[in-house]
C-alpha cells in the first residue's frame, strides 16, 4: 500500500464529538496535512463527493512521486510528465508498466479536474506555511515532505499546474504551457440524457409495478413519481420524511410533498429542543442520535445540491406535472404507509429497505439503483446513462416536458428549484429529434414556397439550375441535362 482513502472519525476537542471524514492512509501513517485540508473543506460546506475527488487527485500525485522518486532532478520536468501521464496512462504499447501504476488514459475534463484540485490543495498548503524547500525531490523521503515540497515549488518557483502568477513574463509563460492541462472540448446536451417519454408508462406499471414484493413496488413507484413527475434528484427524493406528505386542503386526494434540508430545515410538528434552534439537525441528534445524511459516509450518505428552497422553513415543494400525478402519489402513499408503519425503524425517513438483511434501514441510493435496473430489465431495457435510462434522466425529462408545454422559464426555474435561469438550460434544450423535426418542417415550408408564384425579386432556383451552371457543369451532370443519365 502506498496511499489509500479511509474513513476516519476526528475528535478535535474535549466534547468527544467526532467528525467523520475521508483521509489518506499511507505506509507511513495518516497524512496530517491532507487531513487538515479535508477538515477545512468540510467546515466550508464542501460536499463529501467533491472532497473524495480532491483526495483521489492527491493520491495520484503521491503515487507518481513514489513511483518516480529517483527519476527526476528537475521538478518542473517531473510535474510536466505527471500531467502527461494523466492524459496518456502509464501502460506502454506492450501492455507493461514498470512503474506499477497502471493508469489508464484520462479524459481532458478529468485531467483538468485533477489539476484544479491539486492547485487548490497546494495553494492551501502554501498559505498555511506548510510548503517547505528541500534540496530536491530525491532527498524528500517521506510522502508528507514530498507534497510539502510540491506546495513550496508551486508558490515560489513556478505554478507547476499552469496557472501562473504573472503572465507578462514570457519565460514563465512558456514553461507553464508545457505543464498546464489541455482545453476541454465544449459539449452540448441533447436528448441522450433525458429518459424517453415513450417508455415511462411501461416502466411505472410493469417495471416498478412488476416487483414481487408489494412493499418494494409501492416504495419505488413513489420515488419514481418524485423524480419523473416532480423533477427531484434521486438523493432529494430519498430524503423524504414520513411527516412531510400532506393532503391538499383544496383536494384531499392530492398530495402536498415537501423535502427538507436536514441541516437548516425546521423540525417537524413544532418540536422544541432542550436548547438551541429547532432545526432538523438538532431533531435528528436529540431524538434519534443520528446526523444528517449529508454528513454521513458510505452508503447512507445523500448529498444536497439545491441552492434555493421554496420556503423559509427550508424545504423544496413538489410541483407535479401533470398535476394529476399528485393524486396518483397520494393513492399509492396511503397504501405504502401501512407497510412503513409495520416496519420497525428508528429514524424518520419515509423510504426504507425491505431486504431482510437491512430491514427498516433508510433506503440507500445504491439500493435504489439496483431496484431501478431491475425495473428496466422487466420491460426489456438495460441501464444506459447515455440514453437517459438512469434515475437522473427523469429530471431532464421533467424539464423538457415543462418547456414543451410552454411553461414560462421563470416558473420552470421555480419548479426545478434552480438558483438562476441559466441552471435550467441543460434541462430544457430541445432534443436532437426535435431539432430534426423542426428542420424537416422548415424544409417542407421552403419547398412549398419554391412552388408558389415568384415575385420579380425572388430567386428562381429551377431557372438558375438550368441556365446558370454551364461554366462549372459543362456536361450537365448536376443539372440532369446529360442524356446519358437517363440510361442508368
- For the stretch 239-249, pLDDT in tens is 999 999 999 99
Q: What is the pLDDT of residue 173?
A: 40
Position 234 in a domain: yes
Kindly state whether residue 331 falls inside one of the protein's structural domains: yes
Tell me which of 64-73, 169-178, 282-291, 374-383 is least confident: 169-178
Which of 145, 177, 209 terminates a domain? The answer is 177
Same domain? 203 vs 305:
yes
pLDDT at 178: 46
How far is the CA of 82 from the CAs of 87, 131, 406, in angstroms? 9, 19, 50
In a domain, 364, yes or no: yes
Same domain, 135 and 221: no
Pick from 101-115, 196-210, 295-309, 412-426: least confident: 412-426
Q: What is the pLDDT of residues 44-64, one digit of tens each?
A: 888 888 999 999 999 998 889
The closest of 196, 213, 221, 208 to 374, measured between CA atoms, is 208
Map 350-366 to HEC letters: CCECCCCCCCCCECCHH
Domain check: are 470 and 324 in the same one? no
Q: At what angle do helices 391-404 and 365-378 cross, to 10 degrees?
A: 70
Q: Is residue 19 part of a domain?
A: yes
**Residue 398: which CATH number?**
1.10.443.10
Range of the domain at 477: 453-488
Question: According to the model, what pLDDT value does residue 23 have?
Answer: 92
Overall number of domains in the chain: 3
363 vs 369: CA distance, rounded Å: 11
Q: 184 in a domain, yes or no?
A: no
pLDDT band at 314 (very low <50, low <70, confident <90, very high): very high
Residue 371: predicted pLDDT: 97
Quick one: 335 and 224 in the same domain? Answer: yes
Domain assignment present for residue 182? The answer is no
Same-domain status, 123 and 199? no
Using the 3D structure, point to which of 147, 177, 207 is the last residue of a domain: 177
Is pLDDT of 72 > 70? yes
CA distances to 11, 22, 61 from 8, in Å: 10, 6, 21
**Where do the H-state alpha helices sit in 44-89?**
48-67, 75-88
Q: Dump pLDDT digits (tens) for 83-124.
A: 889 988 998 888 888 888 989 888 888 888 998 898 888 888
- Same-domain pairing of 334 and 418: yes
Sign of CA dihedral 195, 199, 205, 208: negative
Rounded CA separation 213/406 (Å): 40
My answer on whether 204 and 335 are in the same domain is yes
The H-assigned helical ranges of 157-271 are: 170-177, 200-202, 214-224, 234-238
| CA angle at 186 for the pair 182 and 190, rounded to the nearest 5° | 145
Specify if 342 maps to a domain.
Answer: yes
Distance CA 402, CA 409 (A): 9
157 and 243: one domain?
no
Q: Evaluate if residue 183 carries a pLDDT over 80.
A: no
Higher pLDDT, 115 or 326: 326
Is residue 202 domain-shared with residue 331, that is, in the same domain?
yes
**Side-chain-side CA neighbours of residue 402 (13 Å):** 29
261 and 400 inside one domain: yes
pLDDT reading at 170 higher than 50: no
User: Once rounded to an integer, what is the mean pLDDT over residues 345-374?
Assistant: 97
Any idea which residue has 422548415 for its cell? Answer: 442
What local confidence, expressed as pLDDT, does residue 165 receive? 40
Q: Residue 428 above 70 pLDDT?
A: no
Given a cut of 60, is residue 438 above it in pLDDT? yes
Taking the C-alpha atoms of residue 365 and residue 234, their distance in angstroms, rounded to an integer, is 7
Could you tell me if 157 and 220 lie in one domain?
Answer: no
170 and 197 part of one domain: no
Average pLDDT across the chain, whole number = 82
pLDDT of 134 strictly over 70: no
Give CA angle at 217 (213, 220), nearest 5°: 135
The pLDDT of residue 356 is 95
Task: Report the percent of the chain where pLDDT is more than 90.
Answer: 45
- Range among 146-155, 166-175, 431-440 rated most confident: 146-155
Using one digit for the tens of pLDDT, what is the confidence trace for 451-474?
666 555 554 555 555 555 565 566
> Can you read off the three cell numbers belonging to residue 407?
411553461
- Domain membership of residue 329 (yes or no) is yes
Cα distance between residue 387 and residue 373, in whole Å:
14
Amino acid at each position: 500500500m502506498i496511499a489509500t482513502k479511509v474513513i476516519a472519525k476526528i475528535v478535535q476537542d474535549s466534547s468527544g464529538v467526532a467528525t467523520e471524514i475521508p483521509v489518506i492512509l499511507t505506509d507511513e501513517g495518516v497524512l496530517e496535512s491532507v487531513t487538515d485540508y479535508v477538515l477545512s473543506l468540510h467546515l466550508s460546506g464542501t460536499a463529501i463527493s467533491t472532497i473524495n475527488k480532491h483526495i483521489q487527485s492527491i493520491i495520484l500525485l503521491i503515487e507518481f512521486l513514489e513511483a518516480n522518486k529517483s527519476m527526476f532532478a528537475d521538478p518542473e520536468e517531473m510535474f510536466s510528465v505527471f500531467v502527461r501521464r494523466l492524459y496518456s496512462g502509464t501502460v506502454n504499447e506492450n501492455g507493461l508498466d514498470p512503474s506499477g501504476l497502471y493508469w489508464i488514459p484520462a479524459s481532458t475534463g478529468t485531467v483538468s479536474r485533477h489539476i484544479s484540485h491539486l492547485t487548490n490543495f497546494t495553494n492551501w498548503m502554501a498559505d498555511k506555511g506548510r510548503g517547505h524547500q528541500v534540496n530536491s525531490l530525491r532527498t524528500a523521503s517521506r510522502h508528507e515532505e514530498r507534497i510539502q515540497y510540491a506546495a513550496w515549488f508551486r508558490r515560489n518557483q513556478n505554478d507547476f499546474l499552469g496557472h501562473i502568477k504573472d503572465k507578462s513574463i514570457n519565460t514563465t509563460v512558456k514553461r507553464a504551457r508545457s505543464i498546464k492541462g489541455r482545453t476541454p472540448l465544449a459539449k452540448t446536451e441533447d436528448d441522450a440524457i433525458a429518459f424517453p417519454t415513450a417508455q415511462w408508462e411501461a416502466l411505472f406499471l410493469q417495471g416498478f409495478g412488476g416487483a414481487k414484493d408489494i412493499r418494494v413496488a409501492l416504495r419505488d413507484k413513489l420515488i419514481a413519481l418524485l423524480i419523473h413527475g416532480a423533477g427531484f434528484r434521486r438523493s432529494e427524493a430519498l430524503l423524504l420524511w414520513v411527516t412531510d406528505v400532506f393532503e391538499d386542503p383544496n383536494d384531499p386526494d392530492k398530495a402536498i410533498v415537501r423535502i427538507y434540508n436536514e441541516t437548516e430545515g425546521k423540525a417537524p410538528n413544532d418540536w422544541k429542543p432542550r436548547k438551541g434552534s429547532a432545526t432538523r439537525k438538532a431533531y435528528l441528534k436529540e431524538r434519534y442520535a443520528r446526523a444528517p445524511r449529508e454528513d454521513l459516509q458510505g452508503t447512507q450518505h445523500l448529498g444536497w445540491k439545491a441552492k434555493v428552497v421554496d420556503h423559509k422553513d427550508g424545504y423544496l415543494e413538489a410541483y407535479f406535472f401533470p398535476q394529476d400525478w399528485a393524486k396518483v402519489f397520494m393513492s399509492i402513499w396511503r397504501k405504502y404507509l401501512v407497510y412503513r408503519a409495520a416496519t420497525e425503524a428508528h429514524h424518520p425517513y419515509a423510504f426504507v429497505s425491505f431486504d431482510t438483511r437491512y430491514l427498516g434501514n433508510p433506503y440507500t441510493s445504491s439500493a435504489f439503483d439496483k431496484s431501478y435496473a431491475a425495473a428496466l430489465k422487466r420491460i426489456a431495457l438495460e441501464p444506459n446513462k447515455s440514453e437517459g435510462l438512469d434515475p437522473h434522466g427523469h429530471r431532464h425529462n421533467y424539464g423538457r416536458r415543462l418547456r414543451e408545454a410552454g411553461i414560462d422559464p421563470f416558473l420552470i426555474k421555480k419548479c426545478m428549484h434552480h438558483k438562476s435561469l441559466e441552471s435550467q438550460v441543460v434541462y430544457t434544450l430541445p432534443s436532437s429529434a426535435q431539432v430534426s423535426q423542426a428542420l424537416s418542417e422548415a424544409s417542407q415550408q421552403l419547398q412549398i414556397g419554391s412552388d408558389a408564384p415568384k415575385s420579380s425579386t425572388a430567386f428562381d432556383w429551377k431557372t438558375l439550375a438550368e441556365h446558370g451552371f454551364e461554366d462549372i457543369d459543362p456536361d450537365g451532370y448536376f443539372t440532369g441535362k446529360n442524356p446519358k443519365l437517363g440510361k442508368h
